[in-house]
Amino acid sequence: MIVKIKKLNENAKMPTYGSPYSAGADLYACIESDITIEPNQTVLVKTGLAMELDCGYVALIYARSGLATKRGLAPANKVGVVDCDYRGEIMVALHNHSTEPQTVSKHERIAQMVITPYITAEFEEADTLSDTVRGDGGFGSTGVK
């Protein structure tokens, strides 16, 4: 699949895959100088990139596991959604979940982007729903008792 990427900043770095079978492509910080994110603070970090996705596809922005587990930095919204009709800059709302200030450097890998197809549902109001064994049990109802 070809995805058109437009550099909005000449210093922007194109997304890259860490290995031949990586599902997520790394996104890089496109900043002029280091940014320090204080504990429990969220900062919008620019990538300097915009893109064009085919209809029926979405880019999902996830945490990088190493950044999240080692430094407590992860997207504030847990999963960012870049719709196929969005043409603005891709930014990551990076949140510091740790108890220490964390510094993000120029061209540091800040998140990973997975491109995937999606289905647009047609919603129909109903008075009843079909019965299942589970029924309305939720939030741990299928676990061992």
Domain boundaries, the chain: 4-117
pTM > 0.85: yes or no? yes
Across residues 117-138, what is the average pLDDT?
92
CATH code for the structural domain at 4-117: 2.70.40.10
Could you tell me which residues are beta bridge partners of residue 114? Answer: 60
CB 60 within 8 A of CB 81: yes
**Vertex 66: Cα angle to 81 and 49 (nearest 5):** 40
Per-residue pLDDT at 21: 97
Give tens-digit pLDDT for 133-143.
888 888 877 76
Residue with more model confidence, 48 or 144: 48
